[in-house]
Amino acid sequence: MEYHDDNVDQNGSNNNSIKQQELIEISSVLRRTSESSLNSLESINEPNRKRLKVMEQTKYSMYNDFEDTAILKKRESLNYRRQRISELRSKISTLITKKEEHELRNYELEEKYSSLKKGLALIESQIEEINDIGQSSMERLREKLVVEKKAARANHDQQVNSMKEKYTAEAETIINKYEQEYAEKLKTLVAQSNHLKGEIKSEDQEHNRNLIKLKEDYHKKLISESTKIDENIRHIKDKLVNEELEIKRKAIDYKNTEDILKNDLTSTNTRLNGLYSQISSKFSNKESEIDLLRHTIINKKNQIDEITSNFNLKSNKITEHKQKVELINKKLTNYENKRRYLHNRLQELKGNIRVFCRVRYVPESIDKLSLIEIADDDINENANQEIIISKNQDDGSKYSNSYGLSNINNNSYTFQFDKVFNMNSTNAGIFEEISQLIQSSLDGYNVCVFAYGQTGSGKTYTMSQPQDGMIPLSLNKIFEDIEDLKSKGWSYTVEGQFIEIYNENIIDLLTPNGINGKYEIKHDDIENKTIVTNVQTIQLKSESHANSILETATRNRSTASTKANDRSSRSHSIYIFKLQGINSAKGISCQGTLNLIDLAGSERLVSSQAKGDRLKETQAINKSLSCLGDVIYALGQKQNNGGQHIPYRNSKLTYLLKHSLGGNSKTLMFVNVSPLQKNLNETINSLRFATKVNTTKLQPSRPSSR
C-alpha cells in the first residue's frame, strides 16, 4: 500500500512537471514574442496584454488544481484506514463466535456428567436388586459394583482431566493467539497512525487541524475497542477458572456420594442379616402352625360336607313347602272369589234396598208413650219384621213391658221392614247387621246408608255417635278389612269427602268458610262415578287419621249449626268414602263408594208450624226427601216396567246420589222413630215413607271392577 501512495505521488509530480513544462513554453513564447515584436509592441500591445491576462488566469487555475489533487490523496488514504478498522471488527466477531463454541463444548461436558449420574442411579437400582436376591449374591454384586465404580470413577477422572487439559490448552492457545494478533495489530495501527501524523503535519494548517481531530476520534475508538477486547479476554479467563472449579467440586460430590453409598450398603447388609435370622426362626414356627392348620382344615371340610348335605335336604323340604304354599294361595284366591260371590248373593237375597226401623230410646219414667208393639226376632212370611203402633188408650197406664201382640186393635198400624230394632238396641248390635254392606263397598259396589226420621228421633245418634255410630264403626271396619285383604294381595286407598246440603246448597264441611268457586255435581255415566267440583278430597291413611278428619267435619257442622240456629237438624250431611282396591298379582282392581248420610228432620209443614225462613227450609227438606222417595220408587218401577225416567235432578241430594241409588248399588235406610205419644203422627208418617222405599226391590247387577 506504500506503493500505492508512491504511485499517487509520482502521478501527481508527473502532472506538475507537464504543467511546469507548459508554463516554461508559454514564458518562452511570450519572451520571444516580446523580443521579436518589440518594435511593433505598440501596435499589438493591447491584444497581447489580453492574451497575457488569459494566460495568467490559466496559470492560477492550474495552481488550484494542484492543491485539489493533494486533498483527494488524503481522502483516499482515510478510506483505506476505514476499511482496516472494519476488518478489525470482523475479526472481533469471529473471536466472539469462538467463545460461544467453547460454551457449547462446556455444555456437552455437563451432558456427559449427567449421563454418568444416570449410570450411578442404575447402579443404585442394582444394589436394591442385590438386597432382594440375598446375602451371597449381594457380596458378589458388591464386589462387581466396587470394580465398576472404580472403573467408572477412573474413566470419569480420566475423561475430566483430559477434557480439562484439552480445553485449558485450547483456551490458552486461543487467548495467546488473539493476544499476539491484537498486540501486532495495535502496534501496526500505532505505527500507521504515527506515519499518518507525520504526513498530516506537513499539510497546511487547515488540513492539519482536521487530521488531528480525525486522529483523536480514531484513537478514542481504538482505546474503547481495545478495552472491550481486554474485558472479553478477562471474562473468558474467569469463566474457564470457574468451570475448572465446578469440575473439581463435582468430582468431590461424586466422591462423597460414593462414600454414602458404601455406608448404606454396609448398614443394609447388617439389617438383612438380622432379618434373615428372624425370618428363619419365624419360618420354622409357621411350618408347625401350617401343620396344625392342615389338620383343622381337614376337620372343617368334613363338617362342611355334613352341613352341605343337611342344607340340601332342608332346601328340598323348603321347595316342597313353597309348592304347598303356592297351592294354598291358589285355593285361598278361589275361596276369596267364592266368598265375594256368595257375599254379594246373600246381600242380593236380602234385597238391594233394605229398610231398618229403629225406635229411639226414652227412659221409662217418661209418660205418654204410645204403645208400640214390636215383634220379636222371628220373621214373618215376607221375611220381614213387624212394628205395630197403636194409640195409647189409657194414657200410658197400659204400657206393656212385654211388647206382646195382645193389644192389637182397630186403632193400630202395622208396618213391615227388613229389621226392626226396639228401644233397647245398641249401635254395636245394629252395626252387626249392616257391616256386610261395608264388605260390599270394599268388593266394588256402591253402598248408600242413610237415616231418615223426624227431628230428635235418633238419626245422628245412630249414624254419628262417637265411638259406636255407624260412621265411626264403618271406618273401623273398612281399615280392619283392608288389613285382612292385604294377605290376599289387595291394597286399598280410601278417600273421603264431607258434604252438607242446606237449603239445596252444597257446603264442604272441611272448608266451612266457603271457597271462591262453585260446588257443582258432575257425573261420569260410563264409569258410574260422581264428583263434586271444589270439594276437598282427603286421602285417609289410617283409621286414626280418618277419625281425626271425621271429628273436624263433625265439629265444623256443629259450629255452623250453633251459628245458624240448629242448622244441622235442617241439613243433610253426606260423608262419601271412595274405596279403590288393586290386586297387582292377579291384575284386577275394584272401586266402590260408601255413602253415609244423616238426613234432615222430616217434619211435615202442618206439624212444624214453620214460618218465614224456617218455612222455606222445611219446604226444601220435604222436597228433597220426597224426591228421594220418588227416585227409589222410580228405580223399582224401572226394573219392573223398564224405560222409566228417574228424577234424580229434582233435588241436590238425589242428583248427588245418582250412582249410589239403583244400578249396582246397595241401599240401606234407617227409619228412626220416636216412641212418644206426641210424635205419633210424625212416626206414622216416617214409617209410611219407609214402607214405600221398602217395597222397592232392585234386581242385582255387576260390581264396578276391572
Ligand X SMILES: Nc1ncnc2c1ncn2[C@@H]1O[C@H](COP(=O)(O)OP(=O)(O)OP(=O)(O)O)[C@@H](O)[C@H]1O
Say how many residues touch ligand X, by CB under 6 A.
Answer: 14
Nearest CB to ligand X, comparing residues 457 and 664: 457
CB 530 within 8 A of CB 656: yes
Instruction: Return the residue of 384, 569, 589, 691 that touches ligand X, per CB under 6 A.
Output: 569
Nearest CB to ligand X, comparing residues 456 and 703: 456
Contacts of ligand X in 39-68 (CB under 6 A): none
Instruction: Return the residue of 469, 496, 592, 601 that touches ligand X, per CB under 6 A.
Output: 601
Nearest CB to ligand X, comparing residues 109 and 501: 501
Interatomic CA distance for residues 471 and 483, integer angstroms: 19
Is 675 near ligand X (CB under 6 A)?
Answer: no
Instruction: Return the residue of 156, 340, 354, 360 that touches ligand X, per CB under 6 A.
Output: 360
Binding mask 630-669 toward ligand X (x if CB under 6 A, else -) reads ----------------------------------------
Lookup result for grid cell 255410630: 469
Strand, coil or helix: what is 702? coil
Is 674 near ligand X (CB under 6 A)?
Answer: no
The helix-helix angle for 41-133 and 205-350 (nearest 10°) equals 40
Stretch that binds ligand X, among 3-11, 304-312, 341-349, 453-461 (CB under 6 A): 453-461
Stretch that binds ligand X, among 92-100, 269-277, 330-338, 452-460 (CB under 6 A): 452-460
Instruction: Return the residue of 354, 459, 652, 658 that touches ligand X, per CB under 6 A.
Output: 459
Nearest CB to ligand X, comparing residues 311 and 361: 361
* Least CB distance to ligand X at residue 602 (A): 8
Instruction: Return the residue of 361, 504, 514, 541 that touches ligand X, per CB under 6 A.
Output: 361
Residue 422 CA, chain-centre distance (Å), reads: 68
Cβ-Cβ contacts under 8 Å for 219 (sequence gap 6 or more): 193
Instruction: Return the residue of 347, 457, 593, 704 that touches ligand X, per CB under 6 A.
Output: 457
Is 476 near ligand X (CB under 6 A)?
Answer: no
Interatomic CA distance for residues 328 and 336, integer angstroms: 12
Q: Which cell goes with 131?
A: 438386597
Instruction: Return the residue of 167, 356, 461, 648 that touches ligand X, per CB under 6 A.
Output: 461
3-state secondary structure labels for all residues of 493-515: EEEEEEEEEECCEEEECCCCCCC
* Least CB distance to ligand X at residue 568 (A): 6
Quote the strand ranges of 474-555, DSSP E. 490-502, 505-508, 521-524, 529-532, 538-539
* Least CB distance to ligand X at residue 467 (A): 13
- CA-to-CA dists, residue 351 to 170, 249, 418, angstroms: 132, 119, 9
Instruction: Return the residue of 453, 496, 581, 629 that touches ligand X, per CB under 6 A.
Output: 453
Nearest CB to ligand X, comparing residues 229 and 359: 359
571-583 and 588-598 as β-strands: parallel, antiparallel, unpaired?
A: antiparallel
* Least CB distance to ligand X at residue 671 (A): 11
Interatomic CA distance for residues 649 and 657, integer angstroms: 10
Is 568 near ligand X (CB under 6 A)?
Answer: yes
Residue 46 CA, chain-centre distance (Å), reads: 127
b/e per residue 236-269 (b: at least 16 CB within 10 A): beeebeebeeebeebbeebeeebeebeeebeeeb
Is 622 near ligand X (CB under 6 A)?
Answer: no
Is 458 near ligand X (CB under 6 A)?
Answer: yes
- CA-to-CA dists, residue 38 to 25, 33, 46, 49, 664, angstroms: 19, 8, 13, 13, 180
CB 159 within 8 A of CB 112: yes
Lookup result for grid cell 229411639: 360
Is 469 near ligand X (CB under 6 A)?
Answer: no
Residues that bind ligand X (CB under 6 A): 360-361, 453, 455-461, 568-569, 601, 672
